[in-house]
A and B are shown apart, each in its own frame.
Chain A
Amino acid sequence: MREVTTYEDRSQPLIECTAVQKHYPDFALDVTLAVPENTIVGLVGLNGSGKTTLFRLLTGLAKADAGSCRMLGQAADTLPVSVKEQIGVVLADTGFPAVFTPRDVKRVLAAFYTGFDPEYFDALVKRFAIPPDKALETFSTGMKARLRVIAAISHHPRILLLDEPTAGLDVVARNQILDLLREYMETPGRSILISSHIASDLENLCDSFRLISRGRILLAEDMDVLRDEYGYVKVPASLARSVDLKGVVCRKTNPDGSIEALVSERQFYLDNYPHVLVERGGVDEALLLFEGADVVIDRNPETEITRKGKETR
């Protein structure tokens, strides 16, 4: 079994976006990211930060204004059918028509995907207690969400693109889906790009994550580095001048003079500044701080990788 690789692995990434841009009247997307094989990458950001736009670009639903998106090496806006067969997609709030039943879904998917596995589909439908012959319009949000994931996974794709697959679900349903995704990843050669609001989902599933805000990726980091080394630091106004703000990723100065920051070396603060509040960095804290910050240091090493890559080629 192949070992898990970090994002520094340069062998052909399954998903690759190079300075891909998309302009809307109130919004400009500019993203560089790469998802290597055997990796789960999480995409975190507020509503309207560009997550769904990115997924639309990756699936060829929308065309980029500049730059390129590649899936399995092929341009995303003209994906050949053979590549589409190896991709499974869940987009929030969109799926099959309400009059379809899961059995209809199965038949239609079988007609579309040569790699479709009807037994696996049936097994999953049964496992998630989904009634196979009732129309989708009678389903609860949870059941619809589960069926969407089943529909994306039943043809054994190499890549899963999941836009908010667990939105609106209770904790039991969410865990069922996450467990399914972990099982999916046990087969080597696959990758997942998943976006979510729910920090705990991402923290326990993803190998690395990208934080996207107003169309740009501001932070790219391994998940456990975020958990083990990053910290949320609050410096009281009285110490604001004397504290050496080392390893700050983003910073916010409050009206009362205190400073809140996301730092990449919380141990430094724990060791040297006992009066400074230090907490574990999690995805939620990172997002809150980035959105409210007045100073942000661009920590997306993939922009570096792209530039280097262009030179060597």
Chain B
Amino acid sequence: MEIQISHTSMEPIYEQIAAQIRLQIREGTLQAQDPLPSVRGFAREYRVSALTVKKAYDLLEEEGFVHTVHGKGTYVAEISANTVQEELQKQLESQFLQALAKARAMKMTEEEILDLVRMLMEEYR
């Protein structure tokens, strides 16, 4: 399993791991019932603490992407591409909501918010 981890980014490592696994599931690189590496094995290979890996696995399990068989390991759940898309959509929505809440707290009008979004989209391209 190929994962890229940045130790210097502000994004928590467990989130980086979870995000990439989600992506691989969505793209089909990881199929249902595929085993994920053991927590310690993953930790060794990517030189991160095992607790971090466990956090990522736990998060994915909560979201329904993987399931853990006690004593055996963690496996990709029976999950369709649609469900993955839904889950990612849900996360995106909640992130947008957070941003909106902040904008409201700053007393931005709807126009200002939309202008900001358009400007950022330009930059992003």
Contacts and interface: CB of A to CB of B under 8 A. Distances in A.
Direct contact of A and B (CB under 8 A): yes
Contact of B41 (A6, A186, A205, A207): A186
Nearest to A186: B40
B44 interface: yes
A4 B39 contact: yes
Contacts of B54: 3-4
B47 A204 contact: yes
Tell which of A3, A206, A223 has the most Cβ of chain B within 10 Å.
Answer: A3
Contacts of B13: 224, 227-228
Interface residues of A, number: 26
B29 interface: no
B54 to A, nearest CB: 5
A183 B47 CA distance: 11
Interface stretch (B20-28, B66-74, B85-93, B107-115): B66-74
Contacts of B65: none
A280 interface: yes
Contacts of A280: 10
Tell which of A182, A222, A228 has the most Cβ of chain B within 10 Å.
Answer: A182
B12 A228 contact: yes
Contact of A224 (B10, B47, B52): B52
A220 B23 CA distance: 34
B32 interface: no
A68 interface: no
A203 B5 CA distance: 14
A208 B44 contact: no
A2 B72 CA distance: 8
B49 to A, nearest CB: 5
Interface string B33-58: 00000111101100111111111000
Nearest to A209: B49
B125 interface: no
Given A4-B51, A204-B47, A222-B51, A186 B12 contact: no
Contact of B38 (A186, A208, A222, A228): A186
A208 B51 CA distance: 8
Interface string A167-210: 00000000100110011011000000000000000011111100
A182 B7 contact: no
A40 interface: yes
A38 B40 CA distance: 9
Given A204-B49, A207-B50, A227 B44 contact: no
B39 A183 contact: no
Contacts of A178: 47
A1 interface: yes
Contacts of A182: 40, 43-44, 47
B75 interface: no
B47 A207 contact: no
Tell which of B14, B50, B52, B71 has the most Cβ of chain A within 10 Å.
Answer: B50
A158 B68 CA distance: 25
Given A205-B49, A224-B49, A224-B52, 12 more contacts: A1-B71, A1-B72, A3-B54, A3-B68, A4-B40, A4-B53, A178-B47, A185-B50, A186-B38, A203-B49, A207-B50, A228-B13
Interface of B: 7, 10, 12-14, 38-41, 43-44, 47-55, 68, 70-73
User: Which 9 residue pairs across A and B have the least CB separation, nearest first?
Assistant: A182-B44, A228-B12, A207-B51, A186-B40, A4-B50, A224-B52, A4-B54, A223-B49, A204-B47
